[in-house]
Chains A and B, each alone.
Chain A
């Protein structure tokens, strides 16, 4: 449920921006010929920039440790799932996938335990995005040919999860999907 606060934050900031611009526009419309405009603009600009800098600095330090590259890094996964994406399907398997003869199986994963997806692509770039029961994007990684990306995640709730391709990969991109069960 990360998206809702993001949307609210954005709408709030966009609203504030609109109000500020409107206020400034109106102040110009109403201004008398003799008015001198902003007092001490340089000083205000300095404080504005400094505050912006500090806010962004705080935002950076707060968000960087949450980056996916660091999540669950020092734990041993309970389960590894191999994923090979190809135009226009995902092959999922408990075992490593032979690129010359890719074959997969139904996947069941444990809840509340660490799972590692080893994601690669057999042709073009694909996205490997996991959607929960309410069709909310919970995590993702790219599938790049020649590389294996390791995505770690702990599923909290049991149920069916869908995988959609989130990197445009050609004519049936919108139909490329798979799913797995968390028990």
Chain B
């Protein structure tokens, strides 16, 4: 009974995420078309769409990872169905509030809503700022309850030391912490920390809003908090996807389950520390930040990539290299996703080098690299899970010709639209411009090329969407 309820709510999550994903992609394509001067939106419309696109994407792929982790965690510990429902309700309500503030109220401070921009917007409704902050509060509370609940469930079975797999540092550990539990735990801690950063940030915003100017915030503090929250959540949602891969990759490939070893434990424990300090790389161009922090930012950004590459990528290589495995769409998506994640990571490491950042910061290079590991990495991790989830209750899970061509569309669309960003970034074209000044003759054509390829990507996603949703609806309405 319990698992049936979980199946149904997970189906709802999958369908919700996919619907919101399609809408957000369309918003993204519209933005590129506006930059390409094919359509003409007012700057306020463009920027409010940009705000919706950014926050919705971050939100849905975070909850997609959480829903997947929640579903798989049931294998090890009991999870709370009620909390899962609460998270779903809060997410839907939060997104609706967010969309009201942006689509109707024209709130357009971007998903980073960098202080003090939300208070100094021109062209948005006066109520929009408060509704936007309230929508974030709703989302934040819902997700905080969810993450704390999952963490508590893990701690009911494993002690702190076991959850962090510290016993694996010794020889012959008595208890084995499954890699899935270890990564989930590490990730949940990071998620809770960044959501709490959002709470602190929102409290400071509210304090200034309701004090009517008597209380004024420090811009440097607010920027640090913004990226503590923003960078970390974007990073952690990738790790949620990785937790799923550690659990499922070997399983769907018909190989023995991956085990936690001392180096896996060590790598992920280190990751927790590096991920929480890597956000300093968002403030390189703020010379007000002490230099020590800037260097920590560069080191942490580098080091965060080490365990991930050394352990995760290598684990996948070992599992696949010259080994006859059962390829299905699920592990194929995981495999391509990891490649996309690595390539996006390379773009990120290049950008997180301070002396490069000075010519790349806030150019199209930034959306280039984060779209790489999201659109071609994290999305594929979650799609892989969605597909696996939707097919595990039906027989047919072989790779058909049709799915191969869908995958090809996804790859062509993805690579094309990303290259338009990378070339734009190397051409010094600024990001977040509703239209480009005449100084950049290549910017508009490039945006249109990006939009065209993104449409191909969208077609592939739509095919997956119908495919997966159809099966999920069946699960949702099945009597048993």
Question: A interface vs B, CB < 8 Å?
Answer: 2-4, 6-7, 9-11, 13-14, 17-18, 21, 24-25, 27-29, 31-33, 35-38, 41, 44-45, 48-49, 52-53, 56, 59-60, 63-64, 66-69, 87, 123-125, 127, 129, 131, 135-142, 144-147, 149-151, 162, 164, 166-175, 177
Contacts and interface: CB of A to CB of B under 8 A. Distances in A.
Contact of A31 (B115, B322, B356, B437): B322
A87 B117 CA distance: 10
B343 A38 contact: no
A49 B310 contact: yes
A35 B322 contact: yes
Contacts of A69: 287, 291, 294
Contact of B355 (A13, A18, A63, A125): A63
B103 to A, nearest CB: 16
B287 A141 contact: yes
Given A7-B423, A37-B323, A171 B318 contact: no
14 contacts: A7-B426, A10-B346, A27-B321, A35-B322, A35-B324, A38-B317, A53-B306, A127-B285, A147-B219, A167-B362, A168-B47, A170-B123, A174-B433, A177-B437
B189 interface: no
A128 to B, nearest CB: 9
Contact of A164 (B116, B336, B430): B430
Contacts of A145: 116, 219
Contacts of B306: 49, 52-53, 56
A6 B353 CA distance: 11
A8 B321 CA distance: 29
B218 interface: yes
A174 B437 contact: yes
B120 interface: yes
B302 interface: yes
Contacts of A123: 116, 120
Contacts of B101: none
B44 A171 contact: yes
B220 A144 contact: yes
Interface string B289-325: 0010011001100110110011100100111111111
Contacts of B311: 45
Contacts of B374: none
Contacts of B285: 68, 127, 140-142
B359 A138 contact: yes
Given A27-B320, A174-B436, 8 more contacts: A18-B339, A28-B320, A56-B305, A123-B116, A135-B428, A144-B286, A170-B122, A171-B43
Contacts of B288: 144, 147, 149
Among A31, A32, A138, A144, max chain B CB count under 10 A is at A144
Contacts of B325: 28
A27 B322 contact: yes
B285 to A, nearest CB: 5
Interface secondary structure of B, over-half rule: helix
B361 interface: yes
Given A31-B323, A31-B324, A41 B121 contact: no
Interface string B406-447: 000000000000000011011110101111110110000000
B362 to A, nearest CB: 4
Contacts of A14: 343, 346-347
Contact of B362 (A48, A56, A166): A166
Contact of B120 (A49, A66, A170): A170
Contacts of B360: 3, 6
B422 A25 contact: no
B350 interface: yes
B114 interface: yes
Given A49-B310, A140-B361, A38 B120 contact: no
A3 B120 contact: no
A168 B110 contact: yes
B321 A38 contact: yes
B32 interface: no
A24 B350 contact: no
B382 interface: no
A67 B287 contact: no
Contacts, number: 234
Contact of A127 (B44, B295, B362): B362
B47 A171 contact: yes
A172 B43 contact: yes
A32 B263 CA distance: 30
A125 B318 contact: no
A26 to B, nearest CB: 10
**For the complex of A and B, 8 pairs with smallest distance between CB atoms:** A66-B355, A49-B310, A7-B426, A137-B428, A174-B433, A37-B323, A166-B362, A67-B354
Contacts of A135: 428, 439-440
A28 B321 contact: yes
B347 to A, nearest CB: 6
Nearest to B319: A37
Given A6-B350, A37-B323, A149 B43 contact: no
Contacts of B114: 124-125, 167-168
A123 B427 CA distance: 29
B261 to A, nearest CB: 9
A4 B426 contact: yes
A10 B327 CA distance: 30
A60 B437 contact: no
Interface in B347-367: 347, 349-350, 353-356, 358-363
A149 to B, nearest CB: 4
B342 interface: yes
B335 interface: yes
A45 B310 contact: yes
B223 interface: yes
Given A41-B314, A140-B358, A141-B287, A171 B295 contact: no
Interface in B93-144: 108-110, 112, 114-117, 120-123
B321 A60 contact: no
A162 to B, nearest CB: 7
A175 to B, nearest CB: 8
